[in-house]
Amino acid sequence: MSSNLYNTYKTTLQKIADIKYATAVLQWDQETYLPPKGAEARGRQIATLTEIAHEQFTEEAFGNLLQELLSKDNLSGKQKRNVQLSLEDYTKSKKLPSAFIRQMSEAVNKSFHAWMDARKQNSFAVFQQPLNDIIELKRQEADLLGYQHHPYNALMNDYDKGLTVAITDKIFNDLKPQLIHLLNRIKVKPQVGNSFLHQHFNKNEQWKFGLEILDAIHFDKQAGRQDISEHPFTINFCSSDVRVTTRIDENDFGNMTWSCLHEGGHALYEQGLSESEYGLPLGEYCSLSIHESQSRLWENNVGRGKAFWQHHYKLAQQTFGKQFAAISADDFYRAINKVEPSFIRTEADELTYHLHVMIRYEIEKMLIEGSISTKDIPAYWNEHYEKYMGIKVPDDKNGCLQDVHWSHGSFGYFATYSLGSLYAAQLYAAILKENVSVETEIGEGNVQTVLNWLRKNIHAYGRYFTSEELCKQATGETLNSNYFTKYANDKYGKIYNL
């Protein structure tokens, strides 16, 4: 009897997943190929499908099915966990009326296209009112979901279950002085030269090189593809159809290279999720902090590592012979790890990156609690870039308009970028401890051991564990930022002769 009930549960969730992923295809197209005049109709289509999926998931009959299943004592461990997590999702979703879901989807569509226009015009004013509408809705969402201590907690919980302002503040307050101390030590040392990374690099040659880098980390092109977008992102429709995007600056070698590695890391996680659990919690990623750990591990711990370029720098020289012919592999390695404050988060070095994230996190907290308004964003942003990094933001496009997240309504997301880097350092340390020859293998162009470890210890579990539980399962302890600070001090101590 319970097997029939479970099959009904599974079929119901998979049908809802079909609707959600069909919506995701429309969203992917919206950010890659949609003609400008299609924006309004596309917004309506996405809103309708989002509303339908929400209505089906929150039907009383489905809630009753979940309760009945949990009363059975013959479900397997995985089946029971799926149902438990679905009931959590159901209970949370019931708090959000379908009309609110549609209103949010429509507001996001308007906001996204306003953000695109604002970037073209280099004017935050174009984006301000649509963003204000999003923030008002996110405050309503926090109230509907309920929270303790701070409304931002309700939104952070969407991206990392159990994550709160108190937890994040403590992590950032511990990390910031250590970062600033290391940055100050680097500041007085001779700076690394990287001007050769800002020569002219042909767009088509960069595109070809990016695809070869994705091949090198085992991104399965039979189960995914890469395209161009205004802001690099990863989206999936199932584990066998995962899309990544990049952007190319012909005067910056790193822009596309690091987005390919970063988004490729996200994609490897999605491609590693269980296909048999499609539509179910155990077929979904653990949290966005863990998702970011995957992208940051491939981008930085592997992709900015000396071992990786022992092999792949030859490919770079073959592709860009004129630009790199006279540059040694050691000089290239130091250049790609140059530490210097900059305007664009996605192009930042591993250390100042966290300061970018902290500024956004503080702005989001204050917007949701109402201590600042949208009109205050540019001034606050510019002031804190000068305060934390000593740089004057020249315009909105290089400042508060650079990230797509707010236009998507993704409030509560940014802290996961830093947490992801901390998790990545801890996971990579565990990989090195268990596989002493792994960096030798990477130096030979073989990253299979790294991928296999992640498949076994991270990807295979889906949402079975929370971030902290999964970290402990994989490394023997919960998140410990000392792994990142040790990694950073060791790496940059050698690069800058500290």
- Report the catalytic residues: 263
Rounded Cα–Cα distance for residues 381 and 119 (Å): 16
The answer to whether 395 touches 117, Cβ cutoff 8 Å, is no
Phi, psi (5° rounding) for residue 226?
-120, 145
How big is the CA angle at 352 (ends 350 and 355), to the nearest 5 degrees?
125
* SS3 state of residue 237: strand
Q: Locate tokens 């960069």: which residue?
A: 206
The amino acid at residue 150 is: H
Which residues on neighbouring strands pair with residue 241, listed in sequence order? Answer: 238
Q: Which of 256, 244, 239 is nearest to 31 (CA)?
A: 244
Task: Report the distance separating Cα 243 and Cα 137, nearest Å.
Answer: 29
Q: Is 327 exposed, middle or buried (0-12, 13-18, 19+ CB in 10 A)?
A: middle
Give the number of other CB atoms < 10 A from CB of residue 55: 15
**Contact call for residues 264 and 298 (beta carbons, < 8 A):** yes
| 104 touches 137 (CB < 8 A) | yes
Number of H helices, E strands in the chain: 21, 3
Q: What angle do CA 404, 353, 396 make, to 5 degrees?
A: 45
Residues 142 and 100: their CA atoms lie apart, in Å, by 12
How far is residue 218's CA from residue 221's CA, in Å, rounded to a whole number? Answer: 9
Which DSSP letter does residue 300 get? I
CA-based end-to-end distance of the chain: 67
